[in-house]
């Protein structure tokens, strides 16, 4: 039977396994050569660098940007009530947005502090919100994702970060 046909009437194609044998990517890797980007002593060097930066202090987590995974903080404290929020005095790879002011929402039932942005050019804030200290938005300096806020005491409050064990 010349040119067998499938059910729909289209000619059947030869199976890839009929033409050449299947080769896995793992079979093509030469494991006798050391990978050029691997250094077994690099973890130890990184650990010493972090310990030097912390000056002997312990941290609840190492914080990273949720968008680009850039390290933002090596030394922080977890919030007592809200376990996904952290505060810190020293940060890296962060920039402060000075054109906006964050103020906590005034709803009483709200569980998390969800700040809202108030541009400085809009004018004065009235009512009970004028008693609340202004917060400046803090963004990742690599990708620009907003990750927290800076209060008037120069303490960083992180609420959108990825924590990892320190």
Task: Give per-residue pLDDT as tens, 4-23.
Answer: 555 555 555 555 556 666 66
Q: What is the domain range of residue 139?
A: 58-164
DSSP state of 162: E
Is residue 99 very low, low, confident or very high in pLDDT (cuts 50, 70, 90)?
A: confident
Query: Of 4-13, 97-106, 143-152, where does the model show the most confidence?
Result: 143-152
Residue 117 has pLDDT above 80, yes or no: no
Per the CB < 8 A criterion, the answer to whether 143 and 162 are in contact is no
In a domain, 138, yes or no: yes
Tell me what pLDDT residue 134 has.
82
In a domain, 26, yes or no: no
What does the pLDDT average to over 145-149? 93
In a domain, 112, yes or no: yes
Beta bridge partners of 11: 5
- pTM greater than the 0.85 cutoff: no
């Amino acid at each position: 039977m010349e040119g067998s046909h499938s059910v729909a009437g289209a000619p059947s194609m030869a199976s890839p396994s009929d033409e050449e044998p299947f080769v896995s990517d793992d079979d093509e890797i030469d494991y006798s050569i050391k990978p050029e980007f691997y250094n077994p002593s690099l973890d130890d060097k990184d650990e010493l660098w972090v310990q030097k930066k912390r000056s002997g202090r312990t941290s609840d987590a190492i914080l990273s940007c949720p968008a680009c995974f850039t390290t933002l903080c090596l030394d922080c404290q977890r919030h007592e009530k809200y376990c996904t929020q952290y505060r810190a005095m020293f940060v890296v790879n962060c920039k402060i947005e000075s054109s906006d002011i964050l103020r906590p929402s005034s709803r009483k039932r709200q569980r998390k502090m969800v700040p809202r942005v108030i541009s400085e050019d809009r004018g004065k804030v009235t009512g009970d919100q004028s008693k609340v200290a202004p917060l400046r938005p803090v963004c990742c300096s690599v990708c620009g994702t907003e990750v927290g806020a800076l209060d008037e005491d120069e303490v960083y409050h992180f609420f959108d970060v990825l924590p990892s064990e320190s």
